[in-house]
Structure 1
Amino acid sequence: MSIIENALKKANNQVLVDNKPKVVTQPPVDADQAVIVKVENSAENNEVKVPLDNQVSINWKALAEEGFIDHNDSKSQLAEEFRVIKRPLVNNIQGAEANGISRSNLILICSSLPGEGKTFISINLALSIANELDKSVLLIDADVEKPSISKQLGIKQSPGLIEYLENDKITFSDIMLKTDLDNLNVIPAGKRHKYSTELLSSQRMYHFAEEVSRRYKDRIVIFDSPPLLVATQAQILAELVGQVVLVIAAEETPQSVVNDSIAKLANCDVVMTLLNKTKKELDLYGYNYGYGKYGHP
């Protein structure tokens, strides 16, 4: 299967005015050390459990056993390969102004179909970038129909992106979880919602993308999205970010399917491809990625 590269041009920058509502909190109420966030002046009794200090611990042992980057082995082949994979993405961020890339620090990881390994790539890319000395990473589970980031990282259910989008009294800090890896934060998908597509295409989602892009210049935001050809949500999300990585399962995904996905990404500033699950050893360079030994040491 050939590897496809497509880079397309320029979206307009727009300014976000961030007006956050005030909230008041009550002391911990259960053994899980949660607080109840109550919204002032709300017509409804909108309450959301938020973990105390939003601090979570990643199950590093389980993650390594699943074939992800081993937190204790920075010299593994997998760690080295993701160093190569992340470099052009980071370079695009650093040269965004010269290259005319809008929201270059927002990166969407997607695939054409389920099972091609996009979540595997999202998590490993986040772990790799978080080890940069001058970078922080926000990993967002935007696959709201079939979320898996929290499960893979061993994070308990908590409010996430959906709660934020449906309730304008929920703040950004309410849903962002701090992990025990310096420079890595996570936003879960949140609860299932029958109008999730409409929420992701809302003005509030646009403002959210602007906020996470502009608030911290050293933060890289990675969205794990639904597959492009089974949900319209991925295409909606792709128009909010500056860079897209399309994950392709080697010797599985037909060329025609990849072409259909590329067409859906026509309005994106930068689209790169990553060949996943290949059994061949590939030279990794530029904007074409190959990743070998998926899920194996």
Structure 2
Amino acid sequence: MSIIEKAASRISHTSPADTPAPADAAVATLPEADVAAAPAAAAAPAPAAAAPVVAEAATAAGATEQRRSTRTVELDLARMHDAGLVTAAGGRTSLMEDFRIIKRPLIKRAFAQRKSSENPGNLIMITSSLPGEGKTFCAVNLAMSIAMELDHTVLLVDADVARPSVLRTLGLPAQLGLMDILLDDNLDMSEVMLRTNVNTLSILPAGTSSPRATELLASHTMKALVMEIANRYPDRIVIFDSPPLLLTSESHVLASNMGQIVMVVEAESTTQHAVKEALRQLEGCSNVNLVYNKSRSFPGTESYDYHYG
């Protein structure tokens, strides 16, 4: 059975109340109140006289490291909690419990044994067929939930370079990021990566918009960057917030580098045709999962259901 057949068999455009989840699906239900859209160097020591060349090199290296030091930003965790996002400071909530269920199979696959020809499983792309289905909400919450793990760190990458929204969702101003690294060979990733007051979470912003975004994401430079990100730290999981599959070609080329893909589907809004067409673009990609959002589980209520297949 193809990816489309397997995935499409788990989605019905009729009322989800009439559509039971598959027996092997991991399902979580989020109250509507929890899913409100988020708002939009010290001087170097004097060189020893016997080794001036070495000292000069060390000083230059120190200056480079200082220039490339990663910046730290403060996430307003109270504001994030009020906006319906997962935070450790927000106490135990149904939203937090649901994302604990969602992340577990992804973490397991992230570090499972793989063939040398397969993409690293710790590279996880969050996408959707169309805008407005909740992919950034899911990407941020998944990253925040995994950041609570004792044995893992998270890098959240805003790869929706045409319409970046990760920083806005987190209440941060626009910054240099992914596109700037791909455009400037002299720019190091550490110069644009943002550490946060959540010690296990870092962010790589989308950066400056470019009309050559598709070609940059499909380049050998991007491939090398993604592999470096995946392999630099053995405990790291990388979450990519991707563009919608049916609006741009960027998500398709990004998917070719990913080890896992999560596609967000909005209930009673996204058509089966859109879902099937989006999944067709992912043919050949392994570990494609579906997140079914805003399904009506009970009359008069809305929730988010998460299905993995």
TM bucket (normalised to shorter chain) is 0.7 to 0.9
Higher strand share: 1
Please point out which of 103, 120, 124 is paired with 2:141.
Answer: 124
Instruction: After TM superposition, list the pairs within 5 Å mapping 1:148-227 onto structure 2.
Output: 148-227=165-244
* Deviations 1:149-202, CA, capped at 9 Å, x for gaps: 111112222210010000111112112110000210000000111211111111
Q: CA–CA distance in 2 between the matches of 1:149 and 1:203?
A: 25
Which has the larger helix fraction? 2
Partners of 1:197 and 1:232 within 8 A in 2: yes
TM-score using structure 2 length: 0.75
Match of 1:287 in 2: 308
Superposed CA RMSD in Å reads 2.6
Q: Structure 1 residues 230, 284: closer, same or farther in 2, change over 3 A?
A: closer
Spell out the pairing of 1:55-204 with structure 2 (5 A cutoff).
Answer: 55-97=72-114, 101-204=118-221
For the 8 Å contact 1:3–1:275, the answer to whether it is kept is no
Report the Cα offset of residue 214 of structure 1.
1.1
Corresponding residue of 2:254: 237
- Per the alignment, do residues 270 and 99 of structure 1 end up closer, same or farther by CA in structure 2, a change over 3 Å counting? farther
- Runs (4+) of structure 1 exceeding 4 A deviation are 22-26, 98-101, 281-286
Post-superposition Cα deviations, 1:224-254, rounded to whole Å, max 9, x if no partner, equal 0000000100011000110000000011111
> Do the aligned partners of residues 257 and 215 (structure 1) sit closer, same or farther apart at CA in structure 2, a change above 3 Å counting?
same
Quick check: 1:165–1:205 contact (8 Å CA) kept in 2?
Answer: yes
Q: Secondary structure at the match of 1:204?
A: helix
Give yes or no for contact 1:79–1:128 (8 Å, CA) kept in 2: yes
Q: Which blocks of at least 5 consecutive residues in structure 1 are unaligned?
A: 6-21, 27-34, 38-49, 289-297
Largest Rg, 1 or 2: 2
Task: Give 1:101 shift.
Answer: 4.9
Shift of 1:267: 2.0
Give the aligned residue type for 1:219: R
Counterpart position of 1:14: none
Structure 2 vs 1, CA of residues 102 and 151 (structure 1 numbering), >3 Å: closer, same or farther?
Answer: same
Q: Which segments of 5 or more consecutive residues in structure 2 lack a partner in the other structure?
A: 1-7, 12-21, 23-59
| Cα distance in 1, alignment partners of residues 193 and 230 from structure 2 | 15
Q: CA deviation at 1:74?
A: 3.9
Q: Give distance in 1, aligned partners of 2:305 and 2:118.
A: 23
Q: How many corresponding residue pairs?
A: 250
After superposition, give the CA deviation of every residue in 1:96-134 in whole Å (9 maximum; x if it has no partner): 338985310000000000000000000000000000000
Provide the TM-score with structure 1 as the length reference. Answer: 0.77
**Deviations, residues 123-146 of structure 1 (Å, cap 9, x unaligned):** 000000000000000000000000
Percent identity for Structure 1 against Structure 2 = 39
- 2:252 aligned partner, one-letter code: Q
Q: In 2, Cα distance between the equivalents of 1:79 and 1:139?
A: 18
SS of 1:116 mapped into structure 2: coil
